Amino acid sequence: MTNASHNDVHKDDLHVSLRGATKVFRRADDGSEVHALGPVDLDLKRGEFFAVVGPSGCGKSTLLEVLAGLSTVTAGTVTFEGKPISGEVPDGVGVVFQEDACFPWMTVADNIAFGLRQAGAAEGEIRARVEGALALMGLNAFAASYPAQLSGGMRQRVCIARTLVLQPRLILLDEPFGALDQQTRLLMGEELLRLWRETGATIFLITHALDEAAMLADRIGVMSARPGRLLEIVETGWPETRDSTIVEKPEFGHVTARLWQWLRAESMKSVGRMDRP
């Protein structure tokens, strides 16, 4: 994790670009359609920290899968580093999924090494990077354990480590701290900020915690109830060298309050919609 330089050099480069990105799921059994996402227009600058908040089921994970190249848009375009993404996983993109993605038959160390082995890295290199990631995630003592012996939060940290060791240029995180307690969540957030500064990676973070979004991100996209559209993008204006102490600032309260203003109505819509089949 040494390439700190391109952070400053390309800060204003366009890294990811969505134009009218829309996703409609068609169910195979009865042919009914679910309009899950969009249209969404969004530009992410290289090295920026972007967070997304939105009511449950509004299409956040769908948006992430489109960015990851795991899912194709039904309309619109998605480009990463100038090249269109169309159902092909582009090089340099790493994902931490919302669900537990640990391989239960592998030790923690082997889980973290998985992507590196797959990419054909040398064993020495793999060992060094895995060791670094274990230390970073506070999992040193569990290198030889199996995921079943870990808590949910620890397993999520394994998944984060597995993605980080690949040193992706675009990191997509889907509620990565959802299974963590509040203290660990704050500390992991700080670690994420540190990593972000050191690697210069672009980060796209989905979260349901408004304070987390407000503390970590440069910009926060607020999504509407399904079909998910971007209602508003809130700029935080934090300095690059920030940490969790930012929560003491009055501006932090302003940002969180603005997010809630936007989300309150949408969340009620989303909950109301849940009552009806």
Partner 1 sequence: MRLVVVLRLLVIAGLIGLVEMLCRMGVIDNFTMPPPSRIGADLWRLLASGKFNGAIGKTLSNAALAFFLAVSIGMLAGVVIHRIASIRAALDPFFATYYAVPVLAFYPLLIILFGLGDAPKIIIAFMLGVVAVIVNTLNGLDRVPKVLLKTARMARMGWFETANKITLPSAAPFVLTGVKFAVAYALIGIIGSEFILSTEGVGFEIAFAYNNFDNATMYPLILLVMTVSITVNMLLGMWEKRLLQRRGLR
Ligand X SMILES: Nc1ncnc2c1ncn2[C@@H]1O[C@H](COP(=O)(O)OP(=O)(O)OP(=O)(O)O)[C@@H](O)[C@H]1O
Candidate list 43, 56, 105, 181; residue touching partner 1; CB under 8 A: 105
Residue range at the interface with partner 1 (CB under 8 A); choices 49-57, 92-100, 186-194, 246-254: 92-100
Question: Which range in 37-45, 111-119, 191-199, 206-214 contacts partner 1 by CB under 8 A?
Answer: 111-119
C-alpha 177/C-alpha 174 separation (Å) is 9
* Integer Cα distance of 241 and 92 in angstroms: 24
Q: Which is nearer to Mg ion, 17 or 98 (CB)?
A: 98
> Which among partner 1, Mg ion, ligand X, none contacts residue 118 (Cβ within 5 to 8 A by kind)?
partner 1
Contact 80, 21 (CB under 8 A): no
CB of 115 to ligand X, least distance (A): 23
Please classify residue 246 by burial: count the beta carbons closer than 10 Å to its beta carbon, then call 0-12 exposed, 13-18 middle and 19+ buried.
Answer: middle
Q: Does residue 148 touch partner 1 according to CB under 8 A?
A: yes
Give the C-alpha separation, 168 to 24, whole Å. Answer: 28
Residues 167-206 that bind partner 1 (CB under 8 A): none
Per partner kind, with CB cut-offs from 5 to 8 A, the member of ligand X, partner 1, Mg ion, none near residue 241 is: none
What x-and-dash track marks residues 98-127 binding Mg ion by CB under 5 A? x-----------------------------
Sheet arrangement for strand 93-96: 93-96, 170-174, 202-206, 49-53, 219-223, 230-235
Among 7, 22, 61, 202, binds Mg ion (CB under 5 A): 61
Binding mask 113-132 for partner 1 (x = CB under 8 A): -xx--xx-------------
- Show Cβ contacts of residue 59 under 8 Å, excluding neighbours closer than 6 positions: 23, 36, 37, 38, 223, 226, 227, 228
Residue 162: closest CA among 69, 106, 94 = 94
Q: Which residues bind Mg ion (CB under 5 A)?
A: 61, 98
Q: Which residues bind partner 1 (CB under 8 A)?
A: 65, 68, 70, 89, 93-95, 97-101, 103-105, 114-115, 118-119, 146, 148-149
